[in-house]
Chains A and B, each alone.
Chain A
Amino acid sequence: MIAELGRFLLALALALSVLQMMGGWRASGATATLAGKVSANAAYAALVSVVIAFALLIVLFLQSDFSVAYVAGHSHVDKPLFYKIAAAWGGHEGSMLLWCSLLVGVGAALAKFALNHDVSLKFRAVSIQGGLQILFLAFAAFTSNPFDRLVDIPVQGADLNPILQDPALAIHPPTLYIGYVGLSAAFSLAVAGLIEGRGGAAIAAALRPWALFAWSALTGGIALGAWWAYYELGWGGWWFWDPVENASFMPWLIAAALIHSAIATEKSGNFAGWTCFLAIMAFSLSTLGAFLVRSGVLTSVHAFALDPERGLWILAIMTIIAGGGLALFALRSGKLGSGSGFSLSSREAFIGANNLLLVTVAGTVLFGTLYPLISGALGDTGISVGAAYFNFTAAPFLAALLILLPLAPFLPWRKQGFNRRLAMRSAVWILAGVLAGIWALILGATPIAVGAAAFAGWTLAGIAADVWHHRVIVGMASRFSLAGRVLAHAGVAAIALGAVADSTGRPETVRALAVGETLEANGFMLTLDAVQRADGPNYLADEARIGVTGRSLTELRPQRRFYTAGETTTREVAIRSGVGGDLYVSLGEPRTRDDGVIAYEVRASFNPMVWLLGLGAMLIALGGLTAFVGNVAAARRRQ
């Protein structure tokens, strides 16, 4: 009965979204406040409905009800409670329900918080959001329903993919989806603004907090995914330019451009059309991400549905969203206003350059991601685009971004601002860049990495100058805004430095070690003291006890797990983190050596200063959230 009730609540959320869309559309007329209330209430009721449906899905997982196909395919009685809950969004159908829940949540949030001073624009946006909800809820209800039942009930479930049974990956999808789906608010507001014929500044002011929040969540989600890949996939990498990673990176880049563009539009009315275009593209690329992950058109380590039929549905949704949005943009962008113009060395000019660079990087990533698809359609199968392409095409633009990034905060709006004083100030930053370059040289970095370090050093010095220069700023909202900018920019520089340091890591040391034997890796002596059983509730495991001597004494316990339900083996790495970097050890298969002794494959590597990457991501996300708080506070004060 629980599954059937869940199915009904999903259908009810769809029906209420229809009411939300129609009520919101009607409420956009100045007199129809009653319809607006109905639309808002329908949005809240849809949220209650879909949240209960999601809660019921979790209950089905907790009960291990294998009459539900999705539960049977992604759970197991012996799976730990935490992963039973996380499995609710660990597969295609459940994650689609999570996507829908968040989308409906954004609709309800728009109805509650957005634009209370401009009811017409607000309800137009709520109506557009209702339309998006209908598209995705219909997709979930008709093609990807997590409450679908099985006639032949299996005795046991197939279990969740073992590499997904991990705390970071349990939190990663919801965080990422908040980002993806959060961008739908910016989309709805931009489309509503185009329909309503509002000026660009009004639209930019309306969508900026939503874009900031979504971008922060997207940053957090991407960072969690990279962290998971780093320690779970067993070879110590954190970014692989995998199609699924690219699918999240593209909307992130466009959202970053959108946030900056919206600031310029809000301040001076410039880039109004561009801001709306980016808002439409950001959510369209989120939908493209969903298509790539779920359709099976591209091969990826973490694509979780390989179903072309569902892919066609998502393609149709994407066509409606992107096609409809861009067609409307083509028809109505003339009403947005053209702004007051700006000098070539004004802040707008630098923001424009920042936008061009970000969009160019997104474009090259999009081309590289879709190229196998395009070449496949033209008959060249088996072509894949590797990291070399992405590094080569993205790195110069990202370096240029680092150069421009610290200069913009010192430039005035509209007017010419690159004066002798700023030139002198930035000359000092060059010194910091040179020092960072020397640091990278000492680490043994490649020439490209030395360049990146120099640019990051320049950027950090510029950010420090930004803090010092604007220390006298008054008003809570402005302080939050400054703090947000500084944190996010510092995060970008930290990631650049982290990537430089990581590129200096030496290749891993691999040896077959018998108990009592030792290997040397980057100055650490690793001794395999013992291998013991460490079985879990749904897996068998060998756990190595590896004593580490060198810079400090410690013990690492990597595991090799065999998940019985799926008959899958995974490596659980052990990491000793320090300021200098991570000692990263994984345990492989046992082998009988020629001398008859059983030896275990032990892989050890030292990844320098990986923490800089995590710190950078945290700073960016925190910066985004701080700017969001500042933006919301400023909006409230204005009201």
Chain B
Amino acid sequence: MIALAIMMAVIGFALIFVAMYPAFRLSPRWQTPAIACGVMAIAILVYFVDGRPGQAGAPYEQQAALRLASSTADLTPAARLERVRDTLRQNEDDAAAWAELGRMLARSERELEAIGAFQRSIRLELDPQTLSDLGQTFINLNDGQVTPEAVSAFEAAQDMAPDLPEPAFFLGLAAYQAGDMDQAEAIWVGILARLDARDPFRVLIAQQAFQLLSQLQVDTAAIDAALSSENFDPQTRIGGMVGRLEGRVDEGGATLSDWLRLIRVYGMAGDDDGARIVLDRARETFSDEAGAMAILNLLAAALATSEGQE
């Protein structure tokens, strides 16, 4: 503040002196200095209307240095994001920082920027996790649709790290969205079999796989036709569907998806005992398939929990 005051005084009086110089021969002799002081007084008064002499400047370089010196916990999310950008401004070839920036942006739902950041990272260093994150950002940007770009990213990630859970899950999801249930089931069961039992993704993938594979495959045209029929009876139709599923299960030609659907139908109908019986039979059938068992065990645990609550 003292430095500012000195500078203001030096510059101010210098310019006023230049302006008033021709008048210094005026008499009475006090007149010119008085006018000069008056001009300076006007300038200072105008300055102090909203001036903040005590507030220091905050150039970017200085702020960036402060952010880098701070611990992450002390920073706001925006400051954390900016800190990663600061790192990149110093070294734009830092692949890890680009990937981190991409993740932060993706979490803030700024997908376009996140994709740009992931792509920069991948151009510098191919990394399966970054490829997978890129694929997921493509999916988020496209309202959950696994686009061809996302599939390319996941395939590249899986080639590099076959046991990475996310690419496999989303490749399964791509197959599922394309209507290829068998392929989706195979991929999910495959990755669940490969994942360590303590891997947190194992439960998540098993949950999602159950949710999606147990979805009843609805033929909308057939439903429309049935609804328009005079003899339409929903109970009869559900009964028929359950009957067809049970038939396939009893004949031994059922896929895991068929088993899961049957369990779900019983659950939806409120027949938890029936669901448990089918689940036990399924666990017997798939006892030597680790991936399928991951889903069925999860289901068994869920049913046991709901039984305990009852």
Which chain A residues border B26 with CB–CB below 8 Å?
34
Minimal Cβ-Cβ distance residue in B for A535: B116
Please tell me which one of the listed residues B16, B44, B47 contacts residue A45 in the complex, with CB atoms under 8 A apart.
Answer: B16
Which residues of chain B come closer than 8 Å to A540, judged between CB atoms? 112-113, 116
Closest to A14 in B: B46
Give residues 30-82 of B contacting A (CB, 8 Å). Answer: 35, 39-40, 42-47, 49-53, 55-61, 63, 76, 78-79, 81-82
A3 touches B57 (CB 8 A): yes
Query: Is A12 a contact of B60 with CB atoms below 8 Å?
Result: no
Write out the residue numbers on chain B whose beta carbons fall within 8 Å of the beta carbon of A46.
19
Chain A nearest CB, measured from B119 CB (Å): 7
Please report the C-alpha to C-alpha distance between residue A1 and residue B2 in the assembled complex, in whole angstroms.
10
Interface of chain B: mostly helix, strand, loop or mixed: helix
Q: Is residue A634 contacting chain B, with contact meaning CB distance below 8 A?
A: no
Q: Does A65 contact B (CB under 8 A)?
A: yes
Q: Which residues of A sit under 8 angstroms from B50, Cβ to Cβ?
A: 7, 142, 145, 148
**A55: shortest Cβ distance to chain B, in Å?**
13
Chain B CB count within 10 A is highest, among A19, A52, A138, for A19
Known contacts A9-B11, A564-B110: A45-B82 contact under CB 8 Å: no
- Cβ A19 vs Cβ B59 within 8 A: no
CB distance from A107 to the nearest CB of B (A): 12
Contact A67 to B116, CB < 8 A, known contacts A1-B3, A155-B79: no
What residues of B have a CB within 8 angstroms of the CB of A48 in the complex? 15, 18
> What is the minimal beta-carbon distance from B112 to any residue of chain A, in angstroms?
6
Give B14's nearest chain A residue, CB to CB. A45
Q: Is the pair B57, A141 in contact by a Cβ cutoff of 8 Å?
A: no
Is B222 part of the binding interface, using a Cβ–Cβ cutoff of 8 Å? no
- Given A8-B12, A64-B59, A67-B55, decide whether A15 and B42 contact each other with a Cβ distance below 8 A: yes
Q: Which residue of A lies closest to B44 (CB)?
A: A11
- Does B277 interact with chain A (Cβ within 8 Å)? no
Q: Is the CB of B119 within 8 A of A66?
A: no
A63 at the interface (CB under 8 A from B): yes
Q: Is the CB of B42 within 8 A of A18?
A: yes
B124 in the interface (beta carbon within 8 A): no
Contacts A15-B40, A42-B19, A155-B76 given: A67-B46 contact, CB under 8 Å?
no
Q: Please report the total number of B residues contacting A with Cβ < 8 Å.
A: 50
Of B21, B46, B85, most buried by chain A (CB within 10 Å of CB) is B46
B161 within 8 Å of A (CB atoms): no
Complex interface: chain B residues within 8 A of A65 (CB): 57-60
A12 and B59 alpha carbons, distance in the complex (Å): 25
Mark each residue of chain A from 49 to 89: 1 if its CB lies under 8 Å from any CB of chain B, else 0.
Answer: 10010000000100111111000000001100000000000
Inside 8 A of A138's CB, which chain B residues have their CB? 46
Knowing A64-B60, A540-B112 are in contact, say whether A41-B4 is a contact too (CB < 8 A).
no
A16 part of interface (Cβ distance < 8 Å): yes
Q: Mark B80-101, 1 if CB is under 8 A from A, else 0.
A: 0110010001000000000000
A148 to B51, CA, bound (A): 8
Q: Which residue of B lies closest to A541 (CB)?
A: B116
Task: Name the residue of chain B whose CB is nearest to the CB of A22.
Answer: B35
Kindly state whether residue B8 has any CB partner on chain A within 8 Å. yes
Contact assessment for A16 and B53 in the assembled complex, using a CB-CB cutoff below 8 Å: no
Which B residues lie within 8 Å of A535 (CB)?
116
Are A67 and B58 interface neighbours, CB within 8 A?
A: yes
- Measured CB to CB, the closest approach of chain B to A53, in angstroms, equals 10
Contacts A5-B7, A155-B76 given; does A16 touch B15 at CB 8 Å: yes
Q: How far is the CB of A440 from chain B (nearest CB, A)?
A: 47
Contacts of A3 in B (CB 8 A): 57
Instruction: Give the tally of cross-chain contacts (CB within 8 A).
Output: 142
Interface flag for A326 (CB, 8 Å): no
- In the complex, are the beta carbons of B78 and A155 less than 8 A apart? yes
Report B14 CB to chain A, min CB distance, Å.
9
Question: In the complex, what's the smallest C-beta–C-beta distance from A408 to chain B, in angstroms?
Answer: 46
* A533 near B78: Cβ-Cβ < 8 Å: no
Cα–Cα, bound, A4→B49 (Å): 12
A38 within 8 Å of B (CB atoms): yes
Q: How far is the CA of A534 from the CA of B51 in the complex (A)?
A: 44
**B3 closest partner in A (C-beta):** A1
Given contacts A1-B56, A155-B78, A540-B116, contact A11 B15 (CB under 8 A): no
CA distance A42 to B18 in the complex (A): 8
Q: Is A11 in contact with B58, judged by CB distance below 8 angstroms?
A: no
- B22: CB under 8 A from chain A? yes
User: Given A38-B23, A65-B59 in contact, is the A8-B78 Cβ separation under 8 Å?
Assistant: no
In the complex, chain A residues whose CB is within 8 Å of the CB of B52? 4, 149
A34 touches B22 (CB 8 A): yes
- Decide yes or no whether A37 CB sits under 8 A from chain B: yes
Determine the distance from Cα of A77 to Cα of B90 in the docked complex, in whole angstroms. 13
| A227 contacts chain B at the CB level, 8 A cutoff | no
Instruction: State the CA gap A2–B76 with chains docked (Å).
Output: 27
**Given the complex, which residues of A lie within 8 Å of B25, measured CB to CB?**
34
Chain A residues lying within 8 Å of B85, measured Cβ to Cβ, are 77
Interface presence of A427 (CB below 8 A): no
CA distance A141 to B46 in the complex (A): 7
CB distance from B101 to the nearest CB of A (A): 12
Among B19, B46, B47, B56, max chain A CB count under 10 A is at: B19
Partner of B4, one of A4, A18, A52, A156: A4
Find out whether the CB atom of A44 lies under 8 angstroms from the CB atom of B18.
yes
Shortest distance from the beta carbon of A562 to any chain B beta carbon, whole Å: 6
Q: Are B46 and A4 touching (Cβ within 8 A)?
A: no
- C-alpha spacing A206/B79, complex, angstroms: 58
Q: What is the bound-complex CA distance between A48 and B58, given in angstroms?
A: 26
CB < 8 Å: which of B4, B16, B44, B113 contacts A16? B16
The residue among B15, B23, B53, B60 with the most chain A CB atoms within 10 A of its own CB is B15
Q: Is the CB of B15 within 8 A of A12?
A: yes
- Given the known interface contacts A12-B12, A12-B15, A540-B116, the answer about A67 and B82 at a Cβ–Cβ threshold of 8 Å is no
A-B contact pairs, 22 of them (CB 8 A): A1-B4, A2-B57, A3-B57, A5-B8, A7-B51, A8-B12, A11-B45, A11-B46, A12-B11, A12-B16, A12-B43, A18-B39, A41-B19, A41-B20, A41-B22, A49-B11, A63-B57, A68-B57, A77-B60, A142-B49, A155-B81, A535-B116
Q: List 10 A-B pairs, minimum CB-CB distance, nearest first.
A: A11-B46, A64-B60, A37-B22, A63-B59, A15-B42, A67-B58, A42-B19, A15-B43, A12-B43, A45-B15
List A residues at the B interface (Cβ < 8 Å): 1-5, 7-12, 14-16, 18-20, 34-35, 37-38, 41-42, 44-46, 48-49, 52, 60, 63-68, 77-78, 138, 141-142, 145, 148-149, 153, 155-156, 533, 535, 540, 562, 564
Q: A4-B53, A48-B15 are in contact. List 13 more A-B contacts (CB 8 A).
A: A1-B56, A4-B52, A7-B47, A8-B43, A15-B43, A16-B39, A19-B19, A20-B19, A34-B22, A45-B16, A141-B46, A142-B49, A149-B52
